[in-house]
Amino acid sequence: MMASIDAVSAPISIGPLKRFLNGRRWFLLMPLSIITAMVITAVLAEFLTPYSPTEISLANRLRPPFWEKGGSLSHPLGTDPMGRDLLTRMIYGARVSLVVALLALLVGGGMGAALGLIAGYYGGRLDALVMRVADTTMAFPIILFAILFVVVLGGSMVTTVFAVALVLWARYARVIRGEVLSLRERDFVAQARVAGCSSSRIMLIHLLPNILNTLVVLLSLQVGWVIIVEASLSFLGAGIPPPTPTWGAMIAEGRDYIATAWWVSFFPGLAILATVLSFNLFGDWLRDALDPKLRQL
């Protein structure tokens, strides 16, 4: 009898489940699922839909989603004012958003990390110059800067990428410079100097590996910001020109039909919301996972 009572009162060991919940890995399920789905649909866009994202079909214009009266499963999310399948354009728009985000982060993040590393290591006038330019860049409104950039050079994906990257670098330069200012006073840097290592070797071999965690977290957190900027520029007509499908341009196309065809703007807006939120949540988790002070075991 006593054995049975002890068996009932003993705590149930949930082992892996408890570690899973305490480690907040469950927190990743939703954002990672959305990010994975977005990447897969962007890469396999040609194989996932039978429609062209740019071909006009006025006979099918403003068809509602399949669950509303007049809707059809052949166009599950409906069609836009030009009769183009909305789901198809959203899938191709995901490709545009990912490509712009990836290229802008590589260019802007790489340039900012390099300048922040150099400025933090050498200090002095070079550090002051880089930081004043970074402050000026960050103070300038990104949308206005990008619009001026596009007006001068013309709208294209390349122009949009460089317009975003030329503002994005300052964020990386400031954060990386702060990390390097702390690291350059450490013993391992002093020992490298005593051993006769050149400045370039110290920066590449000793400092760069120590700032990679910070750089990775910054990259993950800025993906959503770049997607919002690209969508804003497309919405204003200063981004990637039509007929290339972009989420921002799709929202702009549906703003005159909010009362009669709500789906034209709603679904691209929902895609932006879900994607940006997912990347931000993933970035927050990654920051906690890579920072020993915040890591939860």
How is the chain split into domains, by residue range?
Answer: 25-40+86-290
What is the token pair recorded at 26? 């469950």
Q: What percent of the chain has pLDDT over 70?
A: 89
- Per-residue burial over 123-156, b = 16 or more CB atoms within 10 Å of its CB, e = otherwise: eeeebeebbeebeebeeeebeeebbebbeeeebe
Q: What is the pLDDT of residue 199?
A: 82
Q: What is the pLDDT of residue 27?
A: 67
CA-CA-CA-CA torsion sign (69, 75, 78, 81)? negative
- Per-residue burial over 73-98, b = 16 or more CB atoms within 10 Å of its CB, e = otherwise: eebebbbbebbbbbbbbbbbbbbbbb
Residue ranges of the chain whose pLDDT lies below 70: 1-27, 291-297
Positions of E strands within 186-236: none
CATH class of the 25-40+86-290 domain in this structure: mainly alpha
Q: What is the pLDDT of residue 153?
A: 79
Q: What is the pLDDT of residue 272?
A: 93
